[in-house]
Homo-oligomer: A and B are copies of this chain.
Amino acid sequence: MNTAVPSLKVHSDDNVSIVLTAGGLPAGTELDTGAVLKEDVPFGHKVALADIEKGGAVIRYGVTIGLALQPLEKGAWVNEHMIMLPEAPHLESLKAPAVAPKSLPPLEGYTFEGYRNADGSVGTRNLLGISISVQCVAGVVEHAVKRIREELLPNYPNVDDVVPLTHSYGCGVAINATDAYIPIRTIKNIALNPNFGGEVMVVALGCEKLRPEMIMTKGDDKATSMYLQDEGLSGFSAMVDDILLQARMHLERLNNRQRETCPVSDLVVGMQCGGSDAFSGITANPMLGAAADLIVRAGGSVMFSEVTEVRDSVHLLPPRAASADVVEKLVSEMAWYDAYLDKGGADRSANTTPGNKAGGLSGIVEKSLGSVAKSGSSPIVDVIGPGERLRRKGLTFAATPAGDFVCGTLQLAAGMNLHIFTTGRGTPYNLPTTPTIKVATNSTLAARWFDIMDVDAGRIASGEISVEEGGWELFRLILDIASGRCKTAADKLGIRNDLVLFNPAPIT
């Protein structure tokens, strides 16, 4: 009888494999990959499959994820203390491919039920979003939202919710600074998200730097704005009443909408990960990649993001670029972020978290390879900057920071109508604006957080389902959630996180 314990080796060139046994494995255990553990190795961590000399490459996914800082014996635990990051890929070396990558074969016959908007976009929810020009009004708006939920919403049964789009920008900021365009266009574009049905409603103060006209589209005659400093508004109740009055007009129109059958090409799915572990790159992220391919094949839009996570495997992307323009924009966004970090005295090593390391990820390269797996295998048709709106259907790299709330907020500004979030360590993340499907990378987390996670991708590691099957399962769930046929776990619980703007400019 063979007592060798299963472990996970992703690529034939790899010289490490991953411990898959809950609780880890003790010294002396023989792995199916041939190594006998020299010491106790925790769940999700790497084991050397051969002797690796000092300075030798540690290889996972067939790629060098780091260089050994010390000689590593076959069977040794390989963690972040033992490896040095390889140099980041030079941006100048990135070139468009000589032959454009092939598109995936089309996929027909899939639809969802959504709310069609005047601009052609489609909402997966029917929400009233209330924008603010400045944080000063947030407290009043939150009072108004409470009253709208209690007093108005019951009269508008087709409207799912009202969401205050509060933020901490608008005044006390350097509004003319070089990078101020980022938070400003983000605020403007969030209000145009398909889930708000084209009903832009802005509550302003009156003396702020960010003027409502800077975040409203000229000629949008359904848009409304009001100022708390309006001379006609005497006292707090008058302000709140006026917000309710404005809200009623928008709710009236939103309530008249009905879901209709829409092609998958109207889906805009934003993908993200947070609290990754060693499983992220082999279970949840490949599952998302498989689902991303199905959405793209069916004509839909998918975004992957998180610049600091993509940075260290950026050399894998140009061969997938649909045009030279895509490579140029990719290089430009990466260079911008390199400079941004440098100015603040930080660098790419700042990305990995203690949780990543405890989960078995030894550095940003390893994390990066797993993170890029979310993007699947289709050509990259475009790259957009932080806060920009999506321009094309297909797979787009939306250049955003990796922090969950900032990334989600920027994908929202890009026009996302469905969000997928993978987590290995566990984070109770949810956007109030967009259904957020949460995928656990391992079955332990999925079981423990049974009411917070939507999908258990750990079944891929245990062999219960294949990556492809996982992709189809997720694809079908996306269509169900997008159609309002069911709710995400976090929406059922009513978890609502605040949006967080990316403001690289100084405050004053």
Contacts and interface: CB of A to CB of B under 8 A. Distances in A.
A500 B170 CA distance: 13
Contact of A207 (B356, B493, B506): B356
Given A205-B275, A234-B448, 10 more contacts: A168-B500, A171-B403, A174-B345, A176-B346, A205-B426, A206-B355, A308-B508, A345-B505, A350-B508, A401-B507
Nearest to A168: B500
Interface in A124-167: 135-140, 142-143, 166
Tell me which of A234, A274, A426, A502 has the highest count of chain B C-beta atoms within 10 A of its own C-beta: A426
A208 interface: yes
User: Main SS of the interface on chain A?
Assistant: loop
Interface residues of A, number: 83
A395 interface: no
A245 interface: no
B428 A139 contact: yes
Given A207-B353, A207-B354, A505-B344, A142 B496 contact: yes
Given A139-B428, A429-B136, A505-B346, A359 B228 contact: no
Nearest to A431: B139
A177 B506 contact: no
Interface string A436-475: 0000000000011111100000000000000000000000
Interface in A316-367: 340-341, 343-346, 350-351, 353-356, 358-359
A426 B206 contact: yes
Interface string A472-508: 0000000000000000000001111110101011111
Contacts of A177: 344-346, 350
A508 B207 contact: no
Interface in A194-208: 205-208
B450 A235 contact: yes
A495 B448 CA distance: 37
A139 B493 CA distance: 10
A427 B138 CA distance: 11
A507 B427 contact: no
Nearest to A349: B176
B506 A506 contact: no
B350 A136 contact: no
A451 B426 CA distance: 45
Nearest to A172: B403
B233 A448 contact: yes
A353 to B, nearest CB: 5
Stoichiometry, as copies per complex, reads: 2
Nearest to A498: B138
Contact of A508 (B175, B351, B359, B429): B351
Given A209-B354, A308-B508, A354-B208, A168 B498 contact: yes
The interface centre, meaning the residue of A234, A354, A494, A496 with most chain B CB atoms within 10 A of its CB, is A354
Question: Which of A235, A358, A494 is packed against the most chain B CB atoms within 10 Å?
Answer: A235
Interface string A269-284: 0000011000000000
Contacts of A208: 353-355
A452 to B, nearest CB: 6
A351 B497 CA distance: 30
Contacts of A401: 172, 507-508
Given A179-B344, A426-B229, A496 B172 contact: no
A406 interface: yes
B174 A353 contact: no
Contacts of A85: none
29 contacts: A136-B428, A138-B497, A139-B429, A143-B494, A166-B498, A168-B498, A168-B500, A175-B350, A176-B346, A177-B346, A205-B275, A205-B426, A207-B358, A207-B427, A209-B353, A209-B354, A235-B448, A235-B451, A236-B428, A236-B451, A236-B452, A340-B506, A343-B343, A344-B504, A346-B505, A346-B506, A350-B506, A401-B507, A502-B507
